[in-house]
Amino acid sequence: MATEADILKALENLYAPGGVSLARAVSGINLTGAKAFVSLAGDPAKAEGWEMARVNAEKAIKAIPGIESAIVTLTAERAPGAAKAGGHDHHHHGHSHAAPAQPQKRGMSATLDKIRFIIVVASGKGGVGKSTTSANLALGLAAQGWRVGLLDADIYGPSAPRLFGLSEKPKVDNGKLVPPESYGIKVMSMGFLVDENTPMVWRGPMVAQALTQLLNEVAWGELDALVVDMPPGTGDVQLTMAQQTPIAGAVIVSTPQDLALIDARRAVAMFQKVEAPILGIIENMSYFLCPHCGGRSEIFSHGGARHDAEKLGVPFLGEAPLDMKIRETSDAGRPVVGAEPDSPQAAVYLNLAAKVKTLLETTKQRAAPNIVIG
Binding region for ligand ATP (CB under 6 A) out of 108-116, 121-129, 177-185, 199-207: 121-129
**267 near ligand ATP (CB under 6 A):** no
Binding region for ligand ATP (CB under 6 A) out of 33-41, 68-76, 325-333, 336-344: 325-333
**159 near ligand ATP (CB under 6 A):** yes
Kindly write down the DSSP assignment for every residue of 197-232, as one continuous string: TSPP---THHHHHHHHHHHHSB---SEEEEEEEPPS
DSSP code for 156: T
CA-closest candidate to residue 28, choices 189, 176, 211: 211
Binding region for ligand ATP (CB under 6 A) out of 73-81, 94-102, 275-283, 315-323: 315-323
Which residue's C-beta sits nearest to ligand ATP? Answer: 129
Q: Is residue 127 part of an annotated ligand binding site? A: yes
Chain Cα centroid distance, residue 25: 24
CA-closest candidate to residue 227, choices 265, 178, 186: 186
**121 near ligand ATP (CB under 6 A):** no
Cα distances (Å, whole numbers) of residue 204 to 7, 235, 253, 373: 22, 10, 23, 26
Distance in Å, CB of 123 to ligand ATP, minimum: 5
**327 near ligand ATP (CB under 6 A):** yes
**254 near ligand ATP (CB under 6 A):** no
Which stretches within 69-129 are classed as H helix? 82-86, 101-112
Phi-psi region of 92 (alpha: psi -120 to 50; beta: other; left: phi over 0): left
Q: Is residue 87 part of an annotated ligand binding site? A: no
**90 near ligand ATP (CB under 6 A):** no
Cα distances (Å, whole numbers) of residue 157 to 15, 172, 236, 361: 36, 24, 17, 31
Helices (H) and strands (E) in the chain, counts: 16, 14
Distance in Å, CB of 279 to ligand ATP, minimum: 18
**326 near ligand ATP (CB under 6 A):** yes
Select 73 or 254, whichever has its Cβ closest to ligand ATP.
254
CA-closest candidate to residue 241, choices 272, 206, 265, 216: 206
**81 near ligand ATP (CB under 6 A):** no
d(CA 62, CA 56): 10
Distance in Å, CB of 38 to ligand ATP, minimum: 27
- Tell which one of 331, 332, 366, 369 touches ligand ATP (CB under 6 A): 331
Binding to ligand ATP in span 190-209, by CB under 6 A? none
**334 near ligand ATP (CB under 6 A):** no
- Residue ranges of the binding site for ATP: 124-131
Residues in contact with ligand ATP by the rule CB under 6 A: 123, 126-132, 154, 157, 159, 232, 284-285, 320, 322-323, 326-327, 330-331
